[in-house]
């Protein structure tokens, strides 16, 4: 009986906010043009649609990791990330952050995730791969 009393006091103390992120990969994201066969240029490519929702009263914080496309024995191809509103124009080169992207938003948002990368003109042949993590959390 004592246990029942404790639960009834604790349950209404707070409504939990459960932030959510869904990243839907863009077409071509597994077939990126990596040059490396005698010439190279800077690429800015949309890689995912992001759906962010269920933020708490203060909104949500989104952190997106940058990194490198890598393969064993090859020079990595570093990339940077940037986000824009869903359907907005492609970001310019200066919109990309060096290490990782971090931004705040309200209870929900629809974003487009882009990467920028510049391969070397000669890259070791093979398959290069990477993962981008999109982490969302309630803002305190």
Q: How far is the CB of 94 from another protein (least distance, A)?
A: 22
**Cβ count within 10 A of residue 116:** 21
Residue number with CB closer to another protein (22 or 93): 22
Residues facing residue 22 across a β-bridge: 51
- Measured distance CA(76)–CA(124) in Å, rounded: 10
Q: List the interface residues with another protein, window 35-74 (CB under 8 A).
A: 35-38, 47-48, 56, 69, 73-74
3 binds another protein per the rule CB under 8 A: yes
- Please choose, out of 21-29, 90-98, 101-109, the segment that lies near another protein by the rule CB under 8 A: 21-29
Instruction: Please answer whether residues 95 and 83 qualify as being in contact, where contact means their C-beta atoms are separated by less than 8 angstroms.
Output: no
- In angstroms, what is the minimal distance from the CB of 29 to another protein? 6
99 touches another protein by CB under 8 A: no
Cβ burial, residue 84 (10 Å; 0-12/13-18/19+) = middle
* Residue 52 exposed, middle or buried by CB count within 10 Å (0-12, 13-18, 19+): buried
In the complex, what is the shortest distance from the CB of residue 15 to another protein, in angstroms, rounded to a whole number? Answer: 9
102: how many CB neighbours lie within 10 A of its CB?
Answer: 12
CB atoms < 10 A from the CB of 125, how many? 10
Scanning 86-94, 103-111, 128-136 for contacts with another protein by CB under 8 A, the matching segment is 128-136
Query: Under the criterion CB under 8 A, does residue 82 sit at the interface with another protein?
Result: no
For residue 26, the minimal CB distance to another protein (Å) is 9
Report the nearest approach of another protein to the CB of residue 4 (Å).
Answer: 11
């Amino acid at each position: 009986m004592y246990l029942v009393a404790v639960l009834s006091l604790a349950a209404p103390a707070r409504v939990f906010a459960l932030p959510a992120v869904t990243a839907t990969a863009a077409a071509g994201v597994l077939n990126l043009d990596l040059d490396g066969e005698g010439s190279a240029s800077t690429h800015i490519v949309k890689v995912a649609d992001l759906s962010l929702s269920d933020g708490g009263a203060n909104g949500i914080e989104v952190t997106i990791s940058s990194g490198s496309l890598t393969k064993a024995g090859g020079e990595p191809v570093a990339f940077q990330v940037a986000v824009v509103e869903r359907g907005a124009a492609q970001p310019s080169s200066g919109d990309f952050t060096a290490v990782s992207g971090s931004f705040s938003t309200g209870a929900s948002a629809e974003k487009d995730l882009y990467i920028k990368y510049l391969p070397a003109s000669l890259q070791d042949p093979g398959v290069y791969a990477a993962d981008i993590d999109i982490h969302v959390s309630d803002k305190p």
